[in-house]
């Protein structure tokens, strides 16, 4: 995958995580609201089942975004990277 693909996957993971987590929190705080406009009515278990599904979706989005972030290969070292000190002799 090219760098643009990793960036797109990271962005999609971020968006999915943010939306699913927000919807899950809103469902916890306002029990009378319809979670995602009743799109998830097919999920068994009522509100609890819907919130578990949203939590799993948020977790998958977070893992996908994090994986894509670690796979990007920057041209320069990151702050705090100790790669420059490898191979030096003792002082």
The per-residue pLDDT for 9 is 94
DSSP letters, 22-48, are HHHHHHHH-TTSPGGGGTTTTSTTHHH
Helix residue spans in the chain (DSSP H)? 3-29, 46-71
Cα–chain-centroid distance for residue 24? 14
39/53 Cα distance (integer angstroms): 12
Per-residue model confidence as pLDDT tens for the chain (91 residues): 788 899 999 999 999 999 999 998 998 898 787 777 778 889 999 888 989 999 999 999 999 999 999 988 665 555 665 655 555 556 5
The per-residue pLDDT for 59 is 96
The per-residue pLDDT for 80 is 61
Q: What does the block give as tokens for 83?
A: 């790669």
21/47 Cα distance (integer angstroms): 15
């Amino acid at each position: 995958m090219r760098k643009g693909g990793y960036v797109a996957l990271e962005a999609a993971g971020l968006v999915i995580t943010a939306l699913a987590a927000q919807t899950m929190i809103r469902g916890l705080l306002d029990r009378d609201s319809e979670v995602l406009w009743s799109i998830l009515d097919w999920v068994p278990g009522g509100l609890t089942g819907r919130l578990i599904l949203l939590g799993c979706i948020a977790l998958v989005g977070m893992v996908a975004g994090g994986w894509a972030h670690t796979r990007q290969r920057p041209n320069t070292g990151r702050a705090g990277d100790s790669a420059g000190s490898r191979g030096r002799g003792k002082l």
